[in-house]
Protein backbone atom coordinates (compact mmCIF):
# COMPACT_ATOMS: atom_id res chain seq x y z
CA UNK A 1 0.00 0.00 0.00
CA UNK A 2 1.41 3.40 -0.97
CA UNK A 3 0.36 6.97 -1.79
CA UNK A 4 1.51 8.64 -4.99
CA UNK A 5 1.06 12.20 -6.26
CA UNK A 6 0.32 12.90 -9.93
CA UNK A 7 0.54 16.19 -11.82
CA UNK A 8 -2.28 17.66 -13.89
CA UNK A 9 -2.42 15.98 -17.34
CA UNK A 10 -0.30 13.04 -16.15
CA UNK A 11 -1.33 9.66 -17.48
CA UNK A 12 -1.88 7.26 -14.60
CA UNK A 13 -2.69 4.21 -16.76
CA UNK A 14 -2.63 3.62 -20.49
CA UNK A 15 -5.16 1.41 -22.20
CA UNK A 16 -4.05 -2.25 -21.86
CA UNK A 17 -1.78 -1.58 -18.85
CA UNK A 18 -2.08 -4.36 -16.29
CA UNK A 19 -3.99 -3.48 -13.11
CA UNK A 20 -1.87 -4.34 -10.08
CA UNK A 21 -3.56 -2.20 -7.40
CA UNK A 22 -6.95 -0.86 -6.42
CA UNK A 23 -6.68 2.92 -6.36
CA UNK A 24 -8.62 5.34 -4.18
CA UNK A 25 -8.65 9.03 -5.14
CA UNK A 26 -7.54 11.03 -2.10
CA UNK A 27 -7.61 14.38 -3.92
CA UNK A 28 -7.95 15.76 -7.41
CA UNK A 29 -9.90 14.49 -10.38
CA UNK A 30 -9.18 11.97 -13.09
CA UNK A 31 -10.91 10.83 -16.26
CA UNK A 32 -11.02 7.52 -18.08
CA UNK A 33 -11.31 7.97 -21.81
CA UNK A 34 -11.36 6.00 -25.01
CA UNK A 35 -9.46 7.11 -28.09
CA UNK A 36 -11.00 5.96 -31.36
CA UNK A 37 -9.09 5.10 -34.51
CA UNK A 38 -10.07 8.44 -36.07
CA UNK A 39 -8.50 10.27 -33.12
CA UNK A 40 -11.68 11.39 -31.39
CA UNK A 41 -11.72 11.16 -27.63
CA UNK A 42 -14.69 10.00 -25.55
CA UNK A 43 -14.66 10.54 -21.81
CA UNK A 44 -16.21 7.47 -20.22
CA UNK A 45 -15.85 8.18 -16.50
CA UNK A 46 -14.71 10.85 -14.09
CA UNK A 47 -13.20 10.02 -10.73
CA UNK A 48 -13.00 12.39 -7.77
CA UNK A 49 -12.16 12.27 -4.07
CA UNK A 50 -13.28 9.06 -2.40
CA UNK A 51 -13.89 7.10 -5.59
CA UNK A 52 -11.99 3.98 -6.50
CA UNK A 53 -10.72 2.54 -9.72
CA UNK A 54 -9.37 -0.85 -10.67
CA UNK A 55 -11.41 -3.08 -8.33
CA UNK A 56 -13.26 -4.75 -11.20
CA UNK A 57 -9.93 -5.42 -12.92
CA UNK A 58 -7.93 -6.46 -9.87
CA UNK A 59 -10.37 -9.22 -8.94
CA UNK A 60 -11.66 -10.05 -12.41
CA UNK A 61 -10.39 -12.42 -15.09
CA UNK A 62 -9.02 -9.65 -17.32
CA UNK A 63 -6.51 -7.36 -15.58
CA UNK A 64 -5.95 -4.98 -18.53
CA UNK A 65 -7.24 -1.40 -18.31
CA UNK A 66 -9.78 -0.96 -21.14
CA UNK A 67 -9.37 2.84 -21.06
CA UNK A 68 -6.63 5.41 -20.54
CA UNK A 69 -6.79 7.26 -17.22
CA UNK A 70 -5.27 10.70 -16.78
CA UNK A 71 -5.39 13.55 -14.29
CA UNK A 72 -7.64 16.54 -14.90
CA UNK A 73 -5.93 18.26 -11.96
CA UNK A 74 -3.11 17.47 -9.59
CA UNK A 75 -4.16 14.24 -7.89
CA UNK A 76 -3.18 12.01 -5.03
CA UNK A 77 -3.98 8.29 -5.13
CA UNK A 78 -3.79 5.55 -2.55
CA UNK A 79 -2.65 2.35 -4.29
CA UNK A 80 -3.67 -0.83 -2.45
CA UNK A 81 -2.52 -4.32 -3.46
CA UNK A 82 -4.90 -7.22 -4.03
CA UNK A 83 -3.39 -9.02 -1.04
CA UNK A 84 -4.06 -6.03 1.26
CA UNK A 85 -7.64 -5.67 -0.03
CA UNK A 86 -8.22 -9.39 0.57
CA UNK A 87 -7.08 -8.96 4.17
CA UNK A 88 -9.19 -5.81 4.68
CA UNK A 89 -12.29 -7.65 3.41
CA UNK A 90 -12.31 -9.64 6.66
CA UNK A 91 -13.41 -6.39 8.35
CA UNK A 92 -17.21 -6.06 8.04
CA UNK A 93 -17.24 -2.25 7.80
CA UNK A 94 -14.55 -2.24 5.11
CA UNK A 95 -16.31 -5.03 3.20
CA UNK A 96 -19.60 -3.10 3.20
CA UNK A 97 -17.87 0.11 2.06
CA UNK A 98 -16.07 -1.84 -0.67
CA UNK A 99 -19.31 -3.44 -1.88
CA UNK A 100 -20.99 -0.01 -1.87
CA UNK A 101 -18.21 1.47 -3.99
CA UNK A 102 -18.38 -1.47 -6.43
CA UNK A 103 -22.15 -0.98 -6.67
CA UNK A 104 -21.76 2.74 -7.40
CA UNK A 105 -19.17 1.98 -10.10
CA UNK A 106 -21.52 -0.61 -11.62
CA UNK A 107 -24.42 1.87 -11.62
CA UNK A 108 -22.23 4.52 -13.27
CA UNK A 109 -21.25 1.98 -15.93
CA UNK A 110 -24.91 1.12 -16.56
CA UNK A 111 -25.80 4.82 -16.91
CA UNK A 112 -22.92 5.29 -19.32
CA UNK A 113 -23.93 2.32 -21.45
CA UNK A 114 -27.48 3.64 -21.64
CA UNK A 115 -26.21 7.09 -22.58
CA UNK A 116 -23.91 5.85 -25.32
CA UNK A 117 -26.16 3.19 -26.78
CA UNK A 118 -29.76 4.23 -26.42
CA UNK A 119 -30.27 7.98 -26.28
CA UNK A 120 -30.17 10.88 -28.68
CA UNK A 121 -27.83 13.80 -28.05
CA UNK A 122 -30.79 15.85 -26.81
CA UNK A 123 -31.83 13.13 -24.36
CA UNK A 124 -28.25 12.83 -23.12
CA UNK A 125 -28.02 16.59 -22.58
CA UNK A 126 -31.33 16.65 -20.70
CA UNK A 127 -30.15 13.78 -18.49
CA UNK A 128 -26.79 15.47 -17.84
CA UNK A 129 -28.53 18.76 -16.99
CA UNK A 130 -31.00 16.92 -14.73
CA UNK A 131 -28.16 15.23 -12.84
CA UNK A 132 -26.28 18.52 -12.45
CA UNK A 133 -29.47 20.26 -11.32
CA UNK A 134 -29.90 17.65 -8.57
CA UNK A 135 -26.22 17.84 -7.56
CA UNK A 136 -26.23 21.65 -7.51
CA UNK A 137 -29.73 21.97 -6.05
CA UNK A 138 -30.84 24.54 -8.60
CA UNK A 139 -32.47 25.01 -12.01
CA UNK A 140 -29.51 27.22 -12.84
CA UNK A 141 -26.39 25.11 -13.14
CA UNK A 142 -22.75 25.89 -13.73
CA UNK A 143 -21.05 23.31 -15.90
CA UNK A 144 -18.30 21.71 -13.79
CA UNK A 145 -16.36 20.94 -16.97
CA UNK A 146 -15.61 22.84 -20.16
CA UNK A 147 -17.87 22.46 -23.18
CA UNK A 148 -15.08 20.57 -24.94
CA UNK A 149 -14.94 18.15 -22.02
CA UNK A 150 -18.74 17.85 -22.11
CA UNK A 151 -18.58 17.03 -25.83
CA UNK A 152 -15.92 14.39 -25.12
CA UNK A 153 -18.06 13.00 -22.30
CA UNK A 154 -21.03 12.73 -24.67
CA UNK A 155 -18.84 11.23 -27.40
CA UNK A 156 -19.58 13.97 -29.93
CA UNK A 157 -17.72 16.74 -31.69
CA UNK A 158 -17.84 20.26 -30.23
CA UNK A 159 -19.76 21.75 -33.18
CA UNK A 160 -22.54 19.18 -32.63
CA UNK A 161 -22.76 20.15 -28.96
CA UNK A 162 -22.88 23.88 -29.73
CA UNK A 163 -25.52 23.31 -32.42
CA UNK A 164 -27.76 21.33 -30.02
CA UNK A 165 -27.27 23.88 -27.21
CA UNK A 166 -28.32 26.60 -29.66
CA UNK A 167 -31.38 24.56 -30.70
CA UNK A 168 -32.37 24.01 -27.06
CA UNK A 169 -31.97 27.74 -26.40
CA UNK A 170 -33.96 28.70 -29.52
CA UNK A 171 -36.74 26.30 -28.48
CA UNK A 172 -36.87 27.85 -24.99
CA UNK A 173 -35.65 24.84 -23.01
CA UNK A 174 -32.50 26.56 -21.70
CA UNK A 175 -30.75 29.90 -21.42
CA UNK A 176 -26.97 29.80 -21.82
CA UNK A 177 -24.30 32.22 -20.66
CA UNK A 178 -20.80 30.76 -20.87
CA UNK A 179 -20.78 27.83 -18.42
CA UNK A 180 -24.04 28.87 -16.73
CA UNK A 181 -27.18 27.18 -17.99
CA UNK A 182 -30.68 27.96 -16.75
CA UNK A 183 -33.10 25.07 -17.23
CA UNK A 184 -36.54 26.35 -18.15
CA UNK A 185 -38.55 23.14 -18.37
CA UNK A 186 -36.61 20.33 -16.70
Give me the domains of the chain, ranges plus CATH numbers.
2-118 (2.60.120.10), 121-183 (1.10.10.10)
Positions of E strands within the chain: 2-6, 11-13, 21-27, 30-35, 41-47, 52-53, 68-71, 75-81, 140-142, 174-177, 180-183
Q: How far apart are CA 119 and CA 128, in angstroms?
A: 12
Predicted TM-score (pTM) above 0.85: no
Q: Residue 68 in 3-state DSSP?
A: strand
Model confidence at 118: pLDDT above 70: no
Average pLDDT over the chain reads: 89
pLDDT above 90 covers what percent of the chain? Answer: 56
Amino acid sequence: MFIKNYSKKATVYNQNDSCKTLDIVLSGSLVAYSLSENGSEMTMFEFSRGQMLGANLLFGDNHAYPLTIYCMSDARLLHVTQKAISEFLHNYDFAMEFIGMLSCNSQRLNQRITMVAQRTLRENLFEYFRQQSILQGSDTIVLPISKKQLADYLGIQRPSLFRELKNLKDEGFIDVSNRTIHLNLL
